[in-house]
Structure 1
Amino acid sequence: MNWDIDNIAVDKIIIADDHPMFRNALRGALNLEQNGCQIIEAESSDTLRVELREHHDADLLILDLNMPGVEGFSALAFVQKKYPDLPIIMISANDKPETIMHAKHFGALGFVSKSASIEDIRKGLNTVLKGDIYFPYQFNEQAYITQDEGIAETTRQVAELTPQQLKVLGMIKQGLLNKQIAYDLDISEATVKAHVTAIMRKLEVNNRTQAVMKVANIDMGDA
């Protein structure tokens, strides 16, 4: 038995959000499991990647903009590239027009604000599951793409980083030295250096300062 939402059969949905209260509220409000739909939860970039490998046949991914191990829109870019047939709705407390445009540009088929009503959230799910897109604003997409080509390319490069490399990059942005990063992540300094080298290669920069400057303008969102 599966969940039938507006005559659309749905067997499996992944909810990726680091706030357990929000995940519980969402799954409870939509009554998904009562109708036989399997709900898979992920609270970080690491667990999302694990769940996607096992549940790549999911009907929909509801993806939070900001989770542990995520640099800007890198999680969205990664999922869209790795699982291009998986519909994605991005959900965030940051519902600024530019944030929503970024989500659309990087492959989301819909965007729902966390302040939206259950009715609006359900409408977004319905729309995307029917094969349409759901965004609350209209955009001049060509103007956006022309203006932000550099940010778009950097985000795609960041999406190629492993979860551990993303953690290291985040700590580099905080100004931590290799020794401090090694202590916090419980790895050797040699391993940190290897990660830093890989990060610089993927970002196509020559040093840590250039790496920080390159990712400084990636939209991190507010929540």
Structure 2
Amino acid sequence: MTAFSSCTASSHGPDLPPQEARRSTIGKTSSRALTQKGSVVLVDDRILARQCLRSSLASHPAPWDVFACSTMEEWQNEADRHPPLAAVLLHVGSTNIMESHMEELIRQTIKVSGSAPLIILADRDDVVQIVNALDYGVRGYIPSSVSVEVCVEAINLALAGGVFVPASTVFAIREVINGDAGHNPRLTEMFTPRQIQVAEAIWQGKPNKIIAYELNMCESTVKVHIRNIMQKLKATNRTEAAYKVSNLFTSNGIDLLNQ
């Protein structure tokens, strides 16, 4: 991590020089007591991405200050200079949070955050990843496809004790509930062996380029397989397909994939 990736504060609070900021925390009359605000900590190891998002969040009125850091350790080193931790916004980008190191990172961040809710910001919006995030204990899942206004309201919802998930997830689950949930054929009866491999990759939330690389096929071929899988599942979008594939795999397909 580069040397200049330290925590940066938003413009919600007074813009004080570092030495003044340190003095303001000394004694009973601190800036923390005066502002009565909390800190929303944005964690992202990409400097430009986190600076841009921090600026966007800071431009919207909110009852909290925004601080951007590359890691939670950086926040812990700066915490005494800022209002108490209110929430953590962890940007995972396009990473699959079901990978073991990501699950450990999320659980560790929740542990460090204490009572402050953890909210995931991600490029992926497939339902399997979102459900797993909630299982880990996060209090919100914000896809990068939403507006900054929605992001602000999602943070406020988590602070109020709610849980935010994108509407596409709710619609996907609704479609499955309203559909023929009782019909669950064996994977080998429904898909070709190659389609099973692609379906597993969809279930794991992998993008087309990664699927093509791992299965040694053209990306255009992957798209054809995905289109056929969606047709067989009667899924209207990739999110719904991932959810239906998850049901198939968890009920009767896991052993097939290991044979």
TM-score (norm 2): 0.43
Specify the structure having the higher radius of gyration (Cα): 2
TM-score (norm 1): 0.49
Task: Flag the structure with more relative contact order, 1 or 2, with Cα contacts below 8 A and sequence separation at least 6.
Answer: 1
